[in-house]
Structure 1
Amino acid sequence: MPFPSARPALIYTAACLGCAGGVRADERDEVRTVLFGSLDAGRSTFVSAGAKYAPDGVDRDGVVALATLGYGTRTERDWWGDPRAAAGGRPPRVSRHTVLAGAVAGRQWMHDWGVVAVFAGPELAFEVLDSPGTKRLPAPRLGARVQAELWARPSEATLVTATFIAGTARGSAWGRVSWGMQVAALQGVGLGAAYLGPEAALYADLAGYRKWSLGLHATDVALPAALPADLRLRVSAGWVYEEQIRRPGVYGTLTAWLPL
């Protein structure tokens, strides 16, 4: 996983869309806070957690704030710092460790067909290569982050999403689009209705890392009654291509969010 600025970004607005089985303001006290977390697994891994806060309620027009913290690792060859590369050899793969934190604020606009939101704010990045060429820990980098999201329901049975995130701390950009059709609850395994369909994503950063992915997702999955009633999941899996490795692989993601 290539460390997008805030990997669960696509989930931030789920609690205010009123999707299948979603939380609605007339069913409970006003929801102002949503907790979330996500895990991406593949050749690289990224895990993150955070919170969304909307003073006027997550299902209303108004100001919204997001805070996230994540850690990830991926492998690469240190062609610039490893002494073996300077001597004309091929350096072994080493791990790049990255910590990302961000706090953005913006506004969301609710419509009958869905929600649009835009955010901006600071981000902090710290990354280090586990390589012989790394003589000391680098200083964290402070930058700016912008983010835009769209959740739309062209019909009662379909869901379209689009998310874009860019940050200057690592010189990175990430985008994803998805489409889904509502399917009935899987009563045999205790799962509620969800939206199923394809997704596509692209990530790039100034370190020269590029990644494309294409897969299938299940969004707004309601869990069995034994678990918290408002807990929802997004799961996806598919094919991924990373330019530095130059061969296809597979990925899987899991995201959970809980309105408070």
Structure 2
Amino acid sequence: MLFGSLDAGRSSFVAVGAKHAPGGPAADGFVALGSVGYGLRPERDYYGDPRASAGARPPRVLRHTVLAGALGGWQWLHAWGVVTLFAGPELAFEVLDSAATKRLPAPAPGLRLHGEVWARPTGATLLTGTLIAGSARTTIWGRASWGARVLSFYVGPEAALYADRTGYRKWSLGLHATDVAVGRVRLRVSAGWVYEEQVRRPGVYGALAVWTPL
């Protein structure tokens, strides 16, 4: 399966990747997952600008982040859905476009843990959960959603959280439409409210995920 995703708002992240189950998607067994993503977010340069130490408000800069992972795991299929657990190495590269940044930092290696649940409690409902933790940037990201079938897809609420070692925190709450079919491609479209601790005011976000069989 090939997949891609875009989360857009004050901060944005785009990712592409592939997932392969040698035994087939409808059987228990080994699963491989590879992905690469790029993130961009504005923030205050509290560390690189000398005005921060003098009490003045430092200027805004952009943080660019590239994350890549190559994971292996196992999927368990049940009558009600599927559970998948992954683990493997990841590589992170990030830089601030600040005048105080003299050179690019070296990429940081780490370990990533990734868990997913797609469950259908009833024939007309869908429950999903994803939790990803990585040590390259000490990050954690989680998302949970519930949906009721409308036509051929599911609509309902979703909630997500993100945190990393820089002290950045983000929560979001919105609505999603999942498993929307466009030919061979499946979509998840969502939008809603987001709160970032550094900004300390609410904003809006939009997200799109696409996947298709290989």
TM-score by length of 2: 0.98
The match for 1:235 among 186, 189, 203 is 189
Paired residue type of 2:110: G
1:50 equivalent in alignment to 2:9: no
1:91-102 aligned within 5 A? 91-102=58-69
Where does residue 38 of structure 1 map in the other structure? 5
Residues of 2 paired with 1:249 and 1:45: CA distance?
Answer: 13
Give SS of 1:164's match. Answer: strand
Residues of 1 paired with 2:96 and 2:79: CA distance?
Answer: 48
1:218 equivalent in alignment to 2:169: no
Where does residue 9 of structure 1 map in the other structure? none
1:254 equivalent in alignment to 2:208: yes
Give SS of 1:89's match. Answer: coil
Give SS of 2:52's match. Answer: helix
Residues of 2 paired with 1:40 and 1:212: CA distance?
Answer: 13
Where does residue 47 of structure 2 map in the other structure? 80
Q: Which runs of 5+ in 2 are unaligned?
A: none
Give SS of 1:84's match. Answer: helix
Residues of 2 paired with 1:74 and 1:135: CA distance?
Answer: 20
1:130 equivalent in alignment to 2:97: yes
Give SS of 2:67's match. Answer: strand
1:195 equivalent in alignment to 2:162: no
Where does residue 119 of structure 2 map in the other structure? 152
Residues of 2 paired with 1:104 and 1:231: CA distance?
Answer: 24
How far did 1:81 drift?
Answer: 1.4
Q: Using CA pairs under 8 Å that are at least 6 residues apart, name the structure with larger relative contact order, 1 or 2.
A: 1
Q: Which has the larger share of strand?
A: 2
Paired residue type of 1:197: G
Where does residue 67 of structure 1 map in the other structure? 34
Give SS of 2:136's match. Answer: coil
How far did 1:86 drift?
Answer: 2.7
How far did 1:72 drift?
Answer: 1.1
Where does residue 117 of structure 1 map in the other structure? 84
How far did 1:157 drift?
Answer: 0.2
How far did 1:87 drift?
Answer: 3.2
The C-alpha deviation readout for 1:189-236, integer Å capped at 9, x for no partner, is xxxx1100000011111100000000000000012xxxxx32100010
The match for 1:206 among 151, 155, 165 is 165
Corresponding pairs, count: 214
Give SS of 1:134's match. Answer: coil
Identity %: 71
Where does residue 107 of structure 2 map in the other structure? 140
Q: Which runs of 5+ in 1 are unaligned?
A: 1-33, 185-192, 224-228
Paired residue type of 1:241: Y
Cα RMSD for the two superposed structures: 0.8
Paired residue type of 1:230: R
How far did 1:60 drift?
Answer: 1.1
1:15-26 aligned within 5 A? none
TM-score by length of 1: 0.81
Paired residue type of 2:84: A
Residues of 2 paired with 1:240 and 1:41: CA distance?
Answer: 11
Give SS of 1:80's match. Answer: coil
The C-alpha deviation readout for 1:20-48, integer Å capped at 9, x for no partner, is xxxxxxxxxxxxxx000111110011111
